[in-house]
Amino acid sequence: MKVLKFGGTSVGSAERMKGVAKLIADGQQKVVVLSAMSGTTNSLVEISDYLYKKNPEGANEIINTLELKYKKHIEELFSTEEYKQKTAELVKSVFDYIRSFTKDIFTLFEEKVILAQGEIISTNMMTNYLCEQGIKTTLLPALEFMRTDKNCEPDVTYIREKLTALLNDNQGYDIYITQGFICRNAYGEIDNLQRGGSDYSASLIGAAINASEIQIWTDIDGMHDNDPRLVEKTSPVRHLHFDEAAELAYFGAKILHPTCIQPAKYANIPVHLLNTMEPTAPGTLISNDTEKSKIKAVAAKDNITAIRIKSSRMLLAHGFLRKVFEIFESYQTPIDMVCTSEVGVSMSIDNTKHLNEILNDLKKYGTVTVDYNMCIVCVVGDLEWENVGFEAKALDAMREIPVRMISFGGSNYNISFLVREEDKIRALQSLSNQLFNA
């Protein structure tokens, strides 16, 4: 069985939902994972923000606007009174539920419940629409099988057992719809897999049922060799290794969430990125196969801060790096890039929540300098060290651009450059010209 995930953009209007329904109703049995309609999760976050700030009027205004939008969607989507009414009742009960949180104390717990409602609405709408079309469809509630453990990691055994049982109890349907993003935590409370987490849901579900393929449907034509919003002349990439896709997903190519890679990779299930607007286009296939001697793509990640610590005591000393890394660890701040020399080490981070504390602690061990508003530009492809020429080509493209750090050799698939944010587009364009359009 295949697992197909449609993102918020793909179910963003009644028209789009009809398109998805046409696409999935091909007679083949499948699990379909849906995001909330685009913009909805952001609105639910806004509602929660108002409620945290004890501003129920502000919250109610957004709730009312959002509810009106859904009334319109229902009018456009359904053709029979029966299904219009059935869906309108469901949507009304969801909005009444959301409104009930405007009257009481508001905590993280209530916020998680509110954030879950977007996917609950979209999946009910799609299920009802498919049923109205006479397609054998049922809704498998994610809250009954998707679960995280005490470390907030997916509880893979629980997910497999519960989902298998649910599918067994619901045999004979062509389409099983479920919610992306939402889950329960180890205590049974409603939770989620973080923003953009529907891709993760699809991958976990694919691994749990040993799917033949996981399809991620979005509104553009697969991964591109560079960011089409920033750079001229980009082309889709047809095939990527899981590790290449992981580097790209993490370093900015937002069409796939980085967490989605690992479950599919270990279960050896190919992930296929496809375009809802052009369903017959080949898209991008991600698998455990490597295309030899090819540079695949370039991506960039903004809002990076570079920190350098220089210490004469580092010379011939051991344990210095451990001390430095421990400081970042104690503030739960991940390090992205690292470059070392005999007298210093440079690191980059994207989470600056504890930057001041980190800098104060680092200053005990040496002279610290910081560069703000930096950007990681990463080149992804078959960059095994024994292949010659690729590093030179990438470096040559950076000829005119001030480079703060270079990282190569961390994996077989990546060279990263740290540059100023203002040089990002120039760097991306120059790499594109040198690597793909020469």
Q: Which residue is nearest to ligand ADP (CB)?
A: 7
Confirm or reject binding of residue 198 to ligand ASP (CB under 6 A): yes
Give the binding site for Mg ion (CB under 5 A). 7, 196
- Contact call for residues 138 and 176 (beta carbons, < 8 A): yes
Q: Which residue lies nearer to ligand ASP by CB, 100 or 194? A: 194
Which of ligand ASP, ligand ADP, Mg ion, none has residue 231 at its interface (CB below 5 to 8 Å by kind)?
none
Please choose which of ligand ASP, ligand ADP, Mg ion, none residue 313 contacts, taking the beta carbon within 5 to 8 angstroms, the exact cut-off set by kind.
Answer: none
Cβ proximity to ligand ADP, 14 vs 358, nearer residue: 14
| 403: three-class secondary structure by DSSP | strand
73 counts as binding ligand ADP under rule CB under 6 A = no
Sort 159 into a burial class: Cβ within 10 Å, 0-12 / 13-18 / 19+.
Answer: buried
How far is Cα 26 from Cα 174, in angstroms, rounded to an integer?
9
Tell me if 254 contacts ligand ADP by CB under 6 A: yes
Question: Which residue, among 96, 4, 84, 102, has the nearest Cα to 48 in the 3D structure?
Answer: 102
Report 32-61 residues binding ligand ASP (CB under 6 A).
35-36, 41
Report in angstroms the alpha-carbon separations of 159 from 53, 209, 306: 36, 9, 40
Q: Does 219 bind ligand ADP (CB under 6 A)?
A: yes
Residue of 180, 222, 283, 381 that binds ligand ASP (CB under 6 A): 180
Residue 21 contacts residue 50 (beta carbons within 8 Å): no
Number of residues that bind ligand ADP (CB under 6 A): 17
* Of 224-232, 335-343, 367-375, 410-418: span binding ligand ADP (CB under 6 A): 224-232
For residues 2-61, which are near ligand ADP according to CB under 6 A? Answer: 7-10, 35, 38
Cα separation of 257 and 246, whole Å? 9
Nearer to ligand ADP, 10 or 117 (CB): 10
Give the pair of three-digit tokens for residue 264.
């599919």
Q: Which CB atom, from 102 or from 178, has the smaller least distance to ligand ADP?
A: 178
Instruction: Fill in the amino acid letter for 310.
Output: K
Q: Is 179 in the site for ligand ADP (CB under 6 A)?
A: no
Q: Does 366 bind ligand ASP (CB under 6 A)?
A: no
Burial class, 116, CB count within 10 angstroms (exposed 0-12 / middle 13-18 / buried 19+): buried
Determine the Cα–Cα distance for residues 374 and 280; give it in Å rounded to an integer.
Answer: 39
Q: Which helix (H) or strand (E) holds 329?
A: helix 320-330
Per-residue x/- mask for ligand ASP, residues 106 to 125, rule CB under 6 A?
A: ------------x-------
Q: Does 154 bind ligand ASP (CB under 6 A)?
A: no
Tokens standing for residue 249? 């997903």
Question: Cβ 331 to ligand ASP, closest distance in Å?
Answer: 26
CA 432 to each of CA 82, 251, 350, 398: distance values in angstroms, whole numbers, following the listed order: 54, 16, 25, 11
Subset of 226-255 contacting ligand ASP (CB under 6 A): none
Distance CA 413, CA 419 (A): 20
CA–CA separation, 207 and 351 (whole Å):
30
Report what 263 binds from ligand ADP, ligand ASP, Mg ion, none; CB cut-off 5-8 Å by kind: none
Give Cα 321 distance to the centre of its chain. 31
Residues that bind ligand ADP (CB under 6 A): 7-10, 35, 38, 196, 218-220, 224, 227-228, 252-255
Residues that bind ligand ASP (CB under 6 A): 7-8, 35-36, 41, 118, 180-181, 195-198
